[in-house]
Structure 1
Amino acid sequence: MTTLVVLGFYFVFSGDVLGQTSNEKQRIEIIGATVIERDPNISDASRLIGNVRLGLEDAVLTCDSAYRFDDGRFEVFRNVHITEGSGTEVFADYAVLDPEVEVVEISGEVRFMHEEFSIECPAMIYGLESKLVSYSQRAKIIEGDRVLFSDNGVYSSKTDRLYAGGEVEIRENNDLIISDSLAIDRNDKTLILFKTSTLKIEGAVIKCETGIYDGELEKGWFAGNASIEDDGGLLAGDSIVVSRANNEGTAWGNITVSGDYAKRMDGSDIVEGSSTSKVRVVNIEGEDTLKMNSRRLVREGDMLYNSGGVVFEQGTFSGQGDSLSWDRKSNEIWLLGEPVVWSDQDEMTGDTVKMILQENRPELMKLMGNANVLSPTNDSLDHQISGRNLDAIFRDGKLKKVDVKGNGMVVYYSVDDENNVSVNRATCAHISLVFTDGLVKRITLLNKPEGRFENMNDKLEEDVSVKARIAKPEI
């Protein structure tokens, strides 16, 4: 038996819709079909054939044919098309409408469209009331120039938020984002990263295990072995905050910094940098502030490593070298690569420099290999003390005593007036110097000293060769 188009035939749904809290029941109306037939000998379902139209509250479903079962389920076939008043459309080959859960299970070249946003996948579930789309097979999501691929996800057309997981890949022009799990808020252009992710955005590479990125402000927070690297430099740490628009960054925990990045505040430390200067470290303890500049900075626990040219300064105490390591726990600093240290007007050099700090002030210092000290006599002359190794003792951050051991040599000037200058040249195995207010007050030659005292106004037996000073860098 067959029956022609039937109108006004209603079925009532009940139950939650993917978390729906409303108690209103979803009504489905058979708007029309070319043929509606039922044969109990063949099936316990009514069959709708040709131009099938179903009413779903504010939506209309059309298809080529459908079955309506006695338990209220609808099974629809071929050219399935759902349109809603909001403009949302769904295309598929097959779908099942279940009144118990008020959802549509859709499969077969599924395409969901909401405004400029579309989802293409083999199958999905769509909430009639909640407007939630969920998929568990590889999907392609398109919005403008952005294309997203993921293995599973949920999208709400009410909130315009997408949750995607399982080898997520986003491509937009030359940008690429790869993540295990993320969320996108289409309204405020916010990207939320839940698991291991890599972002390649406008020439920058950002890596993290979790984070939030504002696409409009180009600003984000990232954590879990987080880093950002671009042509300007590198900023890495346990967590970082980056503003690409302002070329600024902040890092916490075990950090690595080089180039343009970054500014870091962590307790009493500040690390900052710009495209025109080195990375800068400022450590504050009481009234004493220690500043360091370098091309690259790495912090691992209590260890701080600076490289690529290091300059530091604490009051009248300063220095430079190719690299520096600082054990923050023991306050021990090693300066390598043609190191130079200045204390007031005194200049000290050696192959390697080791320093012990107390409240950011120098307490002990060792110059190992080719040690040399220049201490001013007047505006044009420097006392010179050199040897194999040198030990220096400081008091209140000022040089107090120096011991030179091994192959010691001293060139010491005595200035009575402008026209009467004498030079004392001596060698011995051990030289001891005492300083007061930054000036040499006493020199003691120990262990078989040899030397002579001559007036510089007379013709000297040998030229007096004193090492030239190294220009002190600005910090």
Structure 2
Amino acid sequence: MKRFLNLLCWTLCCGTGVAGVALAAEPAPKVVDFSADVMRPVKIADSSALSLVGHVVFYHNGAVITCDSAIRFNDRMMDCYNNVIINKDSTFIYGDRAEYNGNFNTARVFSPLVKIVDKDATLYTYNFSFNTLDNIGHYTGGGTMLQKENRLESRDGYYYADNRELIGVHDVEMKNPDYQLKSDSVSYNLDSEIARFYTRSYIWNKDDEFLTALKGSYDRKADLYTFTDQSYILTKTREVWADTILYKQNVQDALLVNNVQVADDEQQAVAFGDLIQYWGKERKALLTRDPVVASFQESDSSKRDTLYMRADSMFVFTYNRDSLLRDSLRRDSLAALESAASDEFTPADRGETTAGTASQ
């Protein structure tokens, strides 16, 4: 019997210790502090609540919620009415009504059009919830973000206020003067202006180029496209396929890696390889890793002459043949004139002529 009692005491002690650890790991939610001009108890069904009127303010997790009136059901749950503003750091949320649950640190905001402002960016949506502890917002039913010249629209989305990151999901469209993007999942950073996508996405830029990939990003400030899966670019004169493409639009410089194919209609050539560096303004390219180039020219409507080239590495450059021919002829003509003049008026010729005349 004594052994049984000792075992029971040991079990109860261990159980209490485990419970204590669990409670320490998950502390109870904080009470929501509040203030108002007028406070009075009201009866709601079988329970009582507190009615707050005039300059109502709630404080929780560093967030401040203001409104004209509110019903406080208990120390962690309340409904806010009229001119609702939720502020946490640089994020401001505006609505007509809000339900705040301090147990889950979540505010659900309602209005014909909810507005969320963070410095120079504004998000409009219809259904919005915000967690005041982790500073993450979630919208459904459609949302539009405006920042400077950038516009992002999506059916649903998440806003991470700490790093100013907006993730749009389902029917995402981005627009600005430089490009238009369509995708099903886009992450956009408001500070860096870098858009990242994680599903098949399509981009049309200001130079009438079409770009697509399964995964990639666009850095507008650096003017750099980075595509890393099944990448493709179509311009007015060429088509490019590769696993990975790094492309600077303004200068048309590109780095193409793995399973590269380039079809250039202007140069009437196609190239294959696993690594191609292309300099657009200089119209030069370096091909390595088993490159192959085929250059073709149509002699008439029924024949096409094709030249195949293969090497360990190739350096390809482009020039204007007509311009080069004119320059060559100009240089040859000038050289011929200089040579003729030199032959006719050399000091040796003048000496021989003078000597011949004297002997006569």
Note if contact 1:265-1:271 (Cα within 8 Å) is conserved in structure 2.
no
Corresponding residue of 2:94: 91
1:339 lines up with 2:266 in the alignment: no
Please give the per-residue CA displacement for 1:252-296, whole angstroms capped at 9, x wherever unaligned. Answer: 326343269999851xx6575746758886675xxxxx86364xx
Q: Quote the Cα distance in structure 1 between the aligned partners of 2:60 and 2:245.
A: 48
Residue 126 of structure 2 aligns to a residue in which SS? strand
Residue 104 of structure 1 aligns to a residue in which SS? strand
Richer in helix (by share)? 2
> How far 1:58 sits from its partner (Å)?
3.1
Aligned residue among 34, 47, 50 for 1:46:
50
Closer, same or farther: CA 133–282 of 1 in aligned 2, 3 Å:
closer
Corresponding residue of 1:183: 187
Q: TM-score by structure 2 length?
A: 0.66
1:140 lines up with 2:123 in the alignment: no
Corresponding residue of 2:258: 252
> How far 1:120 sits from its partner (Å)?
1.0
Q: Quote the Cα distance in structure 1 between the aligned partners of 2:190 and 2:273.
A: 32
Closer, same or farther: CA 70–54 of 1 in aligned 2, 3 Å:
closer
> How far 1:27 sits from its partner (Å)?
4.2
Corresponding residue of 1:32: 36
Note if contact 1:197-1:208 (Cα within 8 Å) is conserved in structure 2.
yes
Q: Quote the Cα distance in structure 2 between the aligned partners of 1:235 and 1:193.
A: 20
> How far 1:163 sits from its partner (Å)?
1.3
1:210 lines up with 2:207 in the alignment: no
Residue 39 of structure 1 aligns to a residue in which SS? strand
Closer, same or farther: CA 270–82 of 1 in aligned 2, 3 Å:
closer
Q: Quote the Cα distance in structure 1 between the aligned partners of 2:79 and 2:247.
A: 51
Q: Quote the Cα distance in structure 2 between the aligned partners of 1:322 and 1:264.
A: 24
Closer, same or farther: CA 177–31 of 1 in aligned 2, 3 Å:
same
Please give the per-residue CA displacement for 1:348-377, whole angstroms capped at 9, x wherever unaligned. Answer: xxxxxxx9x9999xxxxxxxxxxxxxxxxx
Richer in strand (by share)? 1
Note if contact 1:280-1:292 (Cα within 8 Å) is conserved in structure 2.
no
Closer, same or farther: CA 280–105 of 1 in aligned 2, 3 Å:
same
Aligned residue among 76, 80, 91 for 2:80:
76
**% identical equivalent positions:** 16
Residue 107 of structure 1 aligns to a residue in which SS? strand
Residue 32 of structure 2 aligns to a residue in which SS? strand
Please give the per-residue CA displacement for 1:50-74, whole angstroms capped at 9, x wherever unaligned. Answer: 3322223433212122111137311
> How far 1:230 sits from its partner (Å)?
3.1
Residue 129 of structure 1 aligns to a residue in which SS? coil
Note if contact 2:177-2:206 (Cα within 8 Å) is conserved in structure 1.
no
> How far 1:165 sits from its partner (Å)?
0.6
Runs of 4 or more consecutive aligned structure 1 residues displaced over 4 Å after TM superposition? 21-25, 40-43, 259-265, 269-284, 357-360
> How far 1:210 sits from its partner (Å)?
1.3
Q: TM-score by structure 1 length?
A: 0.52
Computing the radius of gyration from Cα coordinates, the structure with the larger value is: 1
Aligned residue among 248, 255, 267 for 1:243:
248
> How far 1:228 sits from its partner (Å)?
1.9
- Residue 60 of structure 2 aligns with an amino acid whose one-letter code is L
Q: Quote the Cα distance in structure 2 between the aligned partners of 1:193 and 1:262.
A: 30
Residue 158 of structure 1 aligns to a residue in which SS? coil
Q: Quote the Cα distance in structure 2 between the aligned partners of 1:82 and 1:66.
A: 14
- List aligned pairs for 1:221-370, cutoff 5 A: 221-231=226-236, 233-249=238-254, 250-253=256-259, 255-258=261-264, 266=274, 270=276, 272=278, 274=280, 284=290, 292=293, 294=295, 309=296, 337-339=303-305
Q: Quote the Cα distance in structure 2 between the aligned partners of 1:292 and 1:280.
A: 12
Structure 1 runs not aligned, ≥5 long? 1-20, 285-289, 295-308, 311-320, 324-335, 342-354, 361-475
Closer, same or farther: CA 38–174 of 1 in aligned 2, 3 Å:
same
Please give the per-residue CA displacement for 1:74-113, whole angstroms capped at 9, x wherever unaligned. Answer: 11122211233x2321101121111221111112121111
Closer, same or farther: CA 176–221 of 1 in aligned 2, 3 Å:
same
> How far 1:202 sits from its partner (Å)?
2.5
Give the number of equivalent residue pairs.
282
